[in-house]
Chain A
Amino acid sequence: MIIEQTRNALQTLFPEADPGIDLQVQQEDSETTAESSDKQEDTVRTNGVIERDYQVHGYHIDAQVDPEQLLEAVGIVDSLGYFIESITGVDWIKENQLEVVYDFSRYDFDLCRVVIRTRVDRDAPVVPSITSIYAGANWHERETHDFFGIKFEGHPHLIPLLLPEDADFHPLLKDFKA
């Protein structure tokens, strides 16, 4: 099964020597109630791979990695033949963090959606660029830079894409005022 294969491959990023992270791997019950998933979101999540219930969330594997591990994680996904769907950001202003979310999916009939997310400090949002692995990440990263001001290190051409060429604002930050 491709889901298991992907999970195990991504799991190698979190070696079992660290027992705290290993506990994060959990099979979610398909009858997860809203309350229990609420609780899960409340606690600050540590890095690791979680298999999600597809019927509830719409994706299978949810991996949170450090920015330094990002290229390695995306490399694993690439080697397993996934295509890139999108890259986006989320502004967690209460935690003073910015999250970058990468979506991957497959062309064949082994349905498996992979979400890779990484969190960076809001004051210095720098994430490595994955354009060297997926050329199609170029525009997605530029768009995320437009909206959130996240800098993608190693991006060949990080100028505004959707906003005017001279734009110096990041409209999807929660503290943005026009």
Chain B
Amino acid sequence: MSETEAEQTDARRIATEARDRVRFEEEALELADQVYRVARHLSGSREEAEDLVQETYARAFRSWRSFMPGTNLRAWLLRILTNLNIDRGRRRQRAPDVQSLEANDYYLADRLEERGGPISEEERVDERLSQDSIVDALSEVPHDFRDVLVLVDIGNFTYQDTAQILDIPIGTVMSRLHRARRILKRQLAEEAVDSV
């Protein structure tokens, strides 16, 4: 290969790489709303969520070569995000009271039932649940469990994708999800009963 041919090959390679990178960045930016949504739920405040998203994108843009085209970019971005979130040590919440959680999976309904007679109609539970109470209750769910709940419920990820993002077995995804919902229901039950 002559020197000119080698230069041309090199130039083509650089051009192809630049094109791939631009495409990667554009596709990643199109997902920003969804990434932010998940970040907002994993973080305590808007500011924290914004920091987390910026850090995620900075890292993603730096290491774009490690993304395999054709695989799930949203999952790849959220894996960076959840890892950063763990690194930042946002796990200062108290441990859940595991034992009482095992007692009853239908905790909210039971507590309301104790308080206000049988709930044959769902409206009664509904009346006592509000958007604010869900946000408050979610903030009480410890991070390990909340991450899974957020990815499945807010991120609409399959159990399989969630397992990949968090790098945990699928069985752990299911058990954490179950646990997260129990804690959520217990929190809601306490809020609902307190407010009666």
Q: Do chains A and B stick together as partners?
A: no
